[in-house]
Structure 1
Amino acid sequence: MAAAARLAVAGHRVVVYERTETYGGAVGRFERDGFAFDTGPGLLPLPAVYRDLFIKTGKEPLEECVELVRVDPAARHVFPDGTDVLLPNASRAGAVGALNTALGSGAGDRWGDFLVRAREAWDRTRRPLLEEPLWADWQVLGEREPYPAVPHRRLLRTRRASTLAEIGAYELRDARLTALLESHALAYGLDPRTAPASAAVLPYMDHAFGTWYVRGGMRELARALYERCRARRVEFVFGAEVVRIVEKDGRAAGLELADRTVAEADHVVAAVAPARVAGLTERPLQEDGDVRPGRRPALAGRFTVLLALRGGPEAGAAHRTVVHAPDRAAELDFLSGRAGAGDPARPTVTVLRPDDPALRPDDGHESVVVSAAAPLTAGREAAGTAERFAELLVTAAESAVPGLRERLLWREVRTPAHTARETGAEDGSVSPPALAAAEGRFLLPGNTTRLPGLYLAGGWAHPGGGLPHAGMSGALVAGLIVEGPDFRGSQ
């Protein structure tokens, strides 16, 4: 939709063909008995991406189309040793002070120093990984680790972390700070033992640009963008499954639908997984080679438990609470598939408690979303695994929600299989943002393909998953179509 709105403003006639019966993809909603829950992203980082989109596509700015609420504190973190800390929104000094108080003198200072280095990695990668089409020589992005080396006083030399886990071990030197760092990667199903140190940009984005909530739920953002598209005369055809991308004279020339209808087009934008796109064409879409963007297999999906509770939230309840795993090694082994699929480990759990009347029947009730990264097989291979894993999530959520068990009316369990059915995402996997280093294994396929006229957008194309990145992919595709292959990026 981000690409469609921009292209329509540029004078193109745009038609969106959607396999399901509604818009929004993974930005979905579940409703029952007066309760409503976001089934995809629950918070909005980097809202500037959508502010820019609404400014460029109409007279009404984003804030006139949805109500943005700054989440403060940004998060409450509950650690296995019982330590509990509230981190303020977008305040380095505030975070340093809170961590020094909760974890001991010096802990917050080490976190503050880390954020300074993470900013350096952000400054080095922001433009090529978020605002420009993927470079033709993308290998350059995989060769050098943008996260800076750190001087080691005792060894009288510098030491460069190559993974996120090594940042924790070398620089943070506190299991709780390490858990805080790694939780940002785990939210995308990334194993910090293999994720490059450049993933430090994920907590930096959270810190630097703040965390925001859309009143009424994140589905309201999808609704506002859908309405902006309609106002720009974008057409939507729902229940329309594409079975083939039509080629003519060596370029994409339209779509064939399941009912054998053919829609002609000058350009085709595909917002589905590249493997699915490749199955719709008569040729491979990417260059051959052992290492290329998108070659890294997806290993994890999102497992969610929706809780309908009696009784409203207590005064001062944190909007977001992260309950950290009691056994880091067991969590990571289960997430990476090294442990048996039927033997789930307690994961790092995110609990969202938006104090929003639009999501509950009345003030005497509360809707809560509990989620964690999980292997794609969770709830599918072994009988009862889904219920056992859901129980682990609910048990963790008790640390965030007082009296949860006594207040519980019902719960709805959603596994990666739900994501696959509802969005078409391959196996229900979570798409991470593009990251530099690691020989390019954490880059995503570029927005252009080997088939002229065919473009890739959305979470499974450059610059990757997450609401800001999806919005930027729309800007990049629109720029490539409007300005041609010489387009050098968003301004």
Structure 2
Amino acid sequence: MAGIAVIGAGMGALTAAARLAVAGHRVTVYERTQTYGGAVRRFERDGFGFDTGPGLLPLPAVYRDLFVKTGKEPLEARVELVQVDPSARHVFADGTEVALPNASRAGVVTALDEALGAPAGQRWGDFLVRAREAWDRTRRPLLEEPLWDDWSVLAAREPYPAVPHKRLLRTRRAGTLAEVGAWELRDPRLTALLEGHALAYGLDPRVTPASAAVLPYMEHAFGTWYVRGGMRELARAVHERCLARRVEFVFGAEVTRILEKDGRAVGVELAEGEVREADFVVAPGSARGLPARADGEVAPQRGLPSRLTVLLALRGARPEGTAHRTVVHSVDRDGELESLFGTAPSVPTRPTVTVLRPGDPALVPDGDHEAVTLGAVVPAGAEIHEEHVDALVAVAERAVPGLRDRVLWREVRTPADIARETGAAGGAIPAPALAAAGGRLLHPANSTGVQGLFTVGGWSHPGGGLPHAGMSGALVSGLIVEGPRFRGSQ
């Protein structure tokens, strides 16, 4: 039985802690703030409640596996999972709207044909078939296995089977998402639908590899889910599972140094100078791709994304049949991409906005009010002003007519808030790991150059997102429990 120090109480760290404790180890979690969950938090005021981090859960099997492996009970015994249907409503630049059913290829094809005209649905359906092939080729090495020394194979090989495209007497294949949209989907609205999945993670579709087709495929194949009471309930359930397995939590404990001796991690040093010994140390990764050794303030890196979130308390009930999630696509796609990813990143004036309207009685004071969350990608470290918030609300009104007249009050969450809660420089948010692109979108391995030191969470393999955090915790647990012979989940 080993003593294990886990730095931080984000979702990846919590899943690693629970799994390690079940394996018989003594696990202590040191969290610099006063709560758990990392970015999965809640804001409450006047009887309203809002998720301030992820609002939906893709691939719930990751957390179902966690609860079975750490307690032999289903996740549903601890939280109420609700499948979101429609998966999303989309409002495109030309005003066209479509609601896409959850986890139904045939239903999506029909909905797109009816809203956009044939053969839009067939083109998207054919794209999903190719995206599944990319998923099948990358699922294990990208999500279920540690990142091995031969990772360059993932970096060099494009797993998406692009359709040959003749252009100027040359046959070419799409190498980026933007090219997939232009050459294979051939409809600006379908292109917006595709690129929106990358943009949600702060990825520039003009340079993001075609392998990112796995992002919409995951949503199509495994559905989109909501946790009744808000996503914070998932964090609560995982924290309680850790407590049940006798994981010790020390809140308000900032780790300033990871202790090493003879090339091995041997413990941590807290801000007050107190030393805690350990046989293994599990640390969060960082935007620099290094273990978070708390060695000083890190300046935000250019090009990393963050998020602007606006929480709206509204008078008036949520109309019957309202979609849980609506994506309002930018009317100026090129301008938005230039603002976010150009030489001088700035907050877009006409952004793509995601509108979340859960319709959850637990989040409102009564049935005559509604809690709505608006979100948009902004550069990490961006300063947010009132006009940026007003721009989000104005865009959202394309999906929620009369929105501004219903607002009782609003709360704004900026990149600075994310930085304060998660410790990520500039409030940066990591993207999931993706193949191809020379390895640019892979994340550092969970094992490090220091024996006994492992990294977990969004800035480590396999990257950002709630499912990926849970996977990183499983990988770290396997590497510690089984050692270098660990080959991932079966």
AA in 1 matched with 2:410 = R
| Cα distance in structure 1, aligned partners of 2:441 and 2:424 | 18
Match of 2:30 among 11, 14, 17: 17
Q: How does 1:441-456 map to 2 (within 5 A)?
A: 441-456=440-455
1:268 to 270, 274, 281: 281
What is aligned with 2:65? Answer: 52
Counterpart amino acid of residue 32 in structure 1: R
| Residues 298, 429 of structure 1: 8 Å contact kept | no
Give aligned pairs, total.
472
Q: 1:439 to 1:106 in 2, by over 3 A?
A: same
Correspondence for 1:4 among 17, 20, 23: 17
Q: CA RMSD in A?
A: 1.7
Cα shift at 1:277: 5.4
Matched, 1:346 2:345: no
Query: 2:341 is matched with which residue?
Result: 336
* Cα deviation, residue 167, structure 1: 0.4
Could you give the per-residue CA deviations for residues 416-464 of structure 1, whole angstroms, max 9, x where no partner exists?
1110011101211110000000000000010000000000001110000
Deviation at 1:299, TM superposition (A): 1.9
State the shift of 1:274 in Å.
5.8
SS of 2:161's equivalent in the other structure is coil
Letter in 1 for 2:412: V
Judged with a 3 Å threshold, the aligned counterparts in structure 2 of structure 1 residues 233 and 63 are, in CA distance, closer, same or farther, namely same
User: Could you tell me how far apart the structure 2 residues matched to 1:6 and 1:45 are?
Assistant: 21
Match for 2:197 among 184, 193, 202? 184
SS in 2 for 1:422: helix
Distance 1:474 1:274 in 2: 18
Distance 1:103 1:201, change over 3 A: same
Extract unaligned runs of 5+ from structure 1.
Answer: 283-295
Write the mapping of 1:460-471 to structure 2, written as runs, cut at 5 A. 460-471=459-470
The answer to whether the 8 Å contact 1:386/1:415 transfers is no
Q: Does 1:369 align with 2:382?
A: no
CA distance in 1, matches of 2:105, 2:457: 31
Q: Does 1:319 align with 2:324?
A: yes
TM superposition shift of 1:356: 0.5
Q: Is the 8 A contact 1:46 1:468 kept in 2?
A: yes
- Shift in Å, 1:403: 2.2
Q: Does 1:392 align with 2:405?
A: no
Deviation at 1:41, TM superposition (A): 0.3
> In the alignment, which residue of structure 2 is the partner of 1:299?
304
Deviations along 1:89-124, one digit per CA (max 9) or x if unpaired, are: 001111111111111110111101100110010000
Counterpart contact for 1:246–1:281, Cα < 8 Å: no
Deviation (angstroms), 1:330: 0.2
Counterpart Cα distance in 2 of 1:153 and 1:316: 44
Task: Report the TM-score when normalising by structure 2.
Answer: 0.93
2:256 alignment partner AA: V
- What TM-score do the two structures reach when normalised by structure 1? 0.93
- Structure 1 pair 121–277 and aligned structure 2 pair: CA distance change class (3 A): closer
Residue identity opposite 1:358 in structure 2: A
1:182-235 deviations in Å (ceiling 9; x for gaps)? 000011100101111101100000101000000000000000000000000001
Structure-2 separation of matches of 1:386 and 1:461: 32
Q: State the one-letter code of the partner of 2:454.
A: Y
1:355 deviates by 0.7
Q: Report the secondary structure of 2:370's partner residue.
A: strand
How far apart are the structure 1 equivalents of 2:146 and 2:290?
19
Aligned to 1:411, the other structure's residue is in SS state strand
Q: Equivalent residue for 1:39?
A: 52
Q: Which amino acid is 2:348 matched to?
A: P
Partner of 2:94: 81
CA contact (8 A) 1:255 1:264 kept: yes
Summarize the Cα distance change of 1:399–1:106 in structure 2 as closer, same or farther, 3 Å threshold.
same
Q: Conserved in 1, the CA contact under 8 Å of 2:287 and 2:428?
A: no
Report if the CA contact (8 A) 1:149-1:158 is conserved.
no
Identity fraction in percent: 73
Name which of 74, 92, 110 aligns with 1:97: 110
Q: Indicate if the aligned counterparts of 1:272 and 1:425 stay in contact, CA closer than 8 A.
A: no
Question: Counterpart amino acid of 1:404?
Answer: L
Cα deviation code 1:244-299 (max 9, x no counterpart): 001122200000000111111010001241649556289xxxxxxxxxxxxx9652
Cα deviation, 1:45-86, whole Å, max 9, x if unaligned, reads: 000000000000003310000000000000000011110100
Q: 1:63 to 1:82 in 2, by over 3 A?
A: same
Separation in 1 of the partners of 2:273 and 2:257?
Answer: 10
Give the SS at the match of 1:192.
coil
Task: State the one-letter code of the partner of 1:8.
Answer: A
Counterpart check, 1:113 vs 2:126 = yes
Which 4+ residue blocks in structure 1 deviate beyond 6 angstroms?
153-157
Q: Per the alignment, in what secondary structure is the counterpart of residue 412 of structure 1?
A: strand
Assess, with a 3 A threshold, how the Cα gap between structure 1 residues 448 and 297 changes in structure 2: closer, same or farther: farther
Structure 2: which 5+ runs fail to align?
1-13, 296-300
Give the letter aligned to residue 121 of structure 2: G
Q: 1:262 to 1:432 in 2, by over 3 A?
A: same
Change (3 A) 1:82 1:281: closer
Aligned residue identity for 2:359: D
Q: Label 1:190 to 1:321 Cα distance change in 2 as closer, same or farther (>3 A).
A: same
- Counterpart of 1:289 in structure 2 is none
Query: Secondary structure at the residue paired with 1:484?
Result: helix
Deviations 1:25-53 (A, max 9, x none): 00011111111110100000000000000
Within 2, Cα distance between the matches of 1:201 and 1:8? 33
CA distance in 2, matches of 1:277, 1:339: 26
Partner residue of 2:176 out of 163, 171, 181: 163
